[in-house]
Amino acid sequence: MDTYENLLLNLQEGILTITINRADKMNALNIDTVREIKAAMQQVYDDATIKGVIITGAGAKAFVAGADIAEIAELSEVNARNFAERGQEIFSMIEQCNKPVIAAVNGFALGGGCELAMACHMRVATTSAKFGQPEVNLGLIPGYGGTQRLPLLIGRGKAMELMMTGDMITAEEAKALGLVNHVVAPEELFTTCEAILQKIMGKAPLAIGLVIECVNAVFDKEENGFQTEANSFARCCASEDFIEGTNAFLEKRKPAFRGL
């Protein structure tokens, strides 16, 4: 694993845990940290030994409490556009990854932190976690994809309310809205994430990657999601894992998928 200034990476049993390690700054996303997240995700894409990813924040207070306000305060209109587009590109890397990525939300997930969590495929939160897009309090709007992903996850009306009021919601409220998959006690956060990933890692890797691709196609205006699904279904049927999976079912045994 490469070493980073603002991230801690730990790979165990095929699961890479990426920890944003700026606890003294509530794990706020500065430009260097976002750049490092991109590099870490590139490792995920390139390293076949990585089967799943957990993204979390250091300490007990925050997943990511937002962006670095000191950096944002210096933005002009031109470099603000570049700032937003760069963050959107990196968060899209997470969303489009063909390996499962879970956000382990262990505290405040605000602004860019909420956007980071939403870019992950699933979200598991502790009972003390809080979510929100409070950018309007700074005269801003979300810039890393929040205006696009939040309505898709919780519906247009509630997303409008949260982004226009800047209100925070609890983990239980987030779960009721569909923003969070599971709410657990703090001591159960990582065991829950790992259990989900271990279950997924026992399935056919090609099929898992294609599920991600097809679900993402639902939200891509340039994609015909039904055609993407049909094409992906055909790709599965041409794979060795399909033969193994169907044979194992008929032979009443556990399949041994190889990702081929």
Tell me the pTM.
Answer: 0.93
pLDDT of residue 190: 97
DSSP string, the chain: ----SSEEEEEETTEEEEEE--GGGTT-B-HHHHHHHHHHHHHHHH-TT--EEEEEESSSSEEE--B-HHHHTT--HHHHHHHHHHHHHHHHHHHH-SS-EEEEE-SEEETHHHHHHHHSSEEEEETT-EEE--GGGGT----SSHHHHHHHHH-HHHHHHHHHH--EEEHHHHHHHTS-SEEE-GGGHHHHHHHHHHHHHTS-HHHHHHHHHHHHHHT-TTS-HHHHHHHHHHHHHTSHHHHHHHHHHHTTS-------
Q: What is the pLDDT along the chain (260 residues), one digit of tens a residue?
A: 678 999 999 999 999 999 999 999 999 999 999 999 999 999 999 999 999 999 999 998 999 998 888 888 888 888 888 989 999 999 999 999 999 999 999 999 999 999 999 999 999 999 999 999 999 999 999 999 999 999 999 999 999 999 999 999 999 999 999 999 999 999 999 999 999 999 999 999 999 999 999 999 998 888 898 999 999 999 999 999 999 889 999 989 899 888 78
pLDDT of residue 219: 84
218: closest CA among 152, 125, 174? 152
pLDDT of residue 260: 80
List active site positions.
Answer: 115, 135
pLDDT of residue 1: 62
Distances (CA, A) of 109 to 77, 82, 139, 194, 249: 26, 23, 19, 20, 42
